[in-house]
Amino acid sequence: MKKTNSDGRGSAAKGKAAAKDVDGYLAGVPEPARSTLQRVRAMIRSVVPPEVTEAICYRIPMFKYNGILVGFAAFSKHCSFFPGSATVTETFKNELKAFHTSKGAIRFPVDKPLPAALVKKMVKARIAENQREEGRR
C-alpha cells in the first residue's frame, strides 16, 4: 500500500498541528481512540488492493482508490468512519442501526470499533463503486 501526503482542510483534532501522514495523525490521538482507530485501519488494509494509498485529506486519514475510498477520525467523544458514499450507508442501514449515522459518517465509541465484518463489507462496496465510476470515465 502506498502512502501519500496531502494538505487537507477541516479539523478532526482542533488546536493541533495538521498531521503529515496517517501515522502522524494516529500518534496525536489519545487512547483509547488511538487503538480503536488502529484496529479500524487494519480492517480496511486487510481488504484493499495494493495500489490503494493512504493520505491525510481534510485533516483526517483517508484511503484513496480511483478517488476517495473511505476515511476515519477521532473526535473528543466519539470516532467516525466515513464511507465515502451515501449509497454505502443506505445499503448497510440495517447493520448500522446501533450507530449514529448520517449520509457521510458513522459514529462509534472511542473504545469500541465498528464490527470488522461490517467495515470490510463497506470498504469492498466502496471499491466496487469507485471501479464502476472509473469505468464510466
Query: Residue ranges of the domains in the chain?
Result: 2-6+19-126
Architecture of the 2-6+19-126 domain: Alpha-Beta Complex (3.90)
Q: Over the stretch 75-108, which tens digit does the pLDDT of each residue have?
A: 999 999 999 999 999 999 999 999 999 989 999 9
Rg of the chain taking only CA atoms, in angstroms:
14
| DSSP run (H or E) holding 74 | strand 68-74
Q: Over the stretch 3-46, which tens digit does the pLDDT of each residue have?
A: 444 433 333 444 457 889 999 999 999 999 999 999 999 999 99
CA distance 82 to 73: 8
> What's the DSSP call for residue 131?
H
Q: By the 8 A CB rule, do 73 and 79 touch?
A: yes
Specify the pTM: 0.86
> Does 134 have pLDDT greater than 80?
no
**Which residue is listed with cell 472509473?**
134
